[in-house]
Amino acid sequence: MNTPSNLMYAKSDEWFDPSNGAVGITDYAQNQLSDIVFVEILVDEGEEVTAGKPIASVESVKASAEIYAPASGKVGAINKGIIEKPEILNSDPFGDGWMIKIEGGAQGDLMDSAAYEKHCEERAH
């Protein structure tokens, strides 16, 4: 499982990059979902989002999942590329697979990479 140490993680399997506000789903989440076939971003650029509230919906061949904001703030950008190529979430969840960027907000209840890895291991048992 890949958990870059520069990111923060939510228990609901989203990652947040404090340096640029990018948000996406974790490697653990994309692995659990399997082949992702559809992404819907539920927020618009300029909209205020609140940590813990839905920002996107993802569907795979075996499940669907809501994606929650790991931080509060204003949506500064939306990655329209993942709407056209949702499989990017499987191949590059921490790079081109970002979903939105949140500007000037406060982080929600997030963990560092070590704490998130422990959280995932506990769920696997």
Residues 6+ apart with CB under 8 A from 48: 72, 73, 74, 75
Cα 8 from chain centroid (whole Å): 10
| Residue-range definition of the domain harbouring residue 66 | 8-116
pLDDT at site 104:
83
Which structure tokens are listed for 7?
A: 């990111």
What's 92's domain CATH number? 2.40.50.100
pLDDT of res. 105: 73
Q: Taking the complete model, does pTM exceed 0.85, yes or no?
A: yes
* pLDDT value, residue 57: 97
For residue 3, being part of any structural domain is answered with: no
The CA-atom distances, in angstroms, between 103 and each of 17, 28, 59, 63, 106 are 11, 25, 26, 30, 9
pLDDT tens digit at each of 125 positions of the chain: 899 999 999 999 999 999 999 999 999 999 999 999 999 999 999 999 999 999 999 999 989 999 999 999 999 999 999 999 999 999 999 999 999 999 987 888 999 999 999 999 998 76
Largest CA distance in the chain: 41
As given in the structure block, the two tokens for residue 44 are: 């618009």
Looking at residue 96, its pLDDT comes to 95
Lookup: tokens for 1: 């499982």
pLDDT given for residue 124 in this prediction = 74
Start-to-end CA span in the chain (Å)? 16
100 - beta bridge partners?
23, 78
Token output for 91: 């191949």
The SS3 assignment for 120 reads helix
Asked whether residue 34 is domain-assigned, the answer is yes
Assigned domain for 80 exists: yes
Number of domains in the chain: 1
Is residue 1 assigned to a domain? no
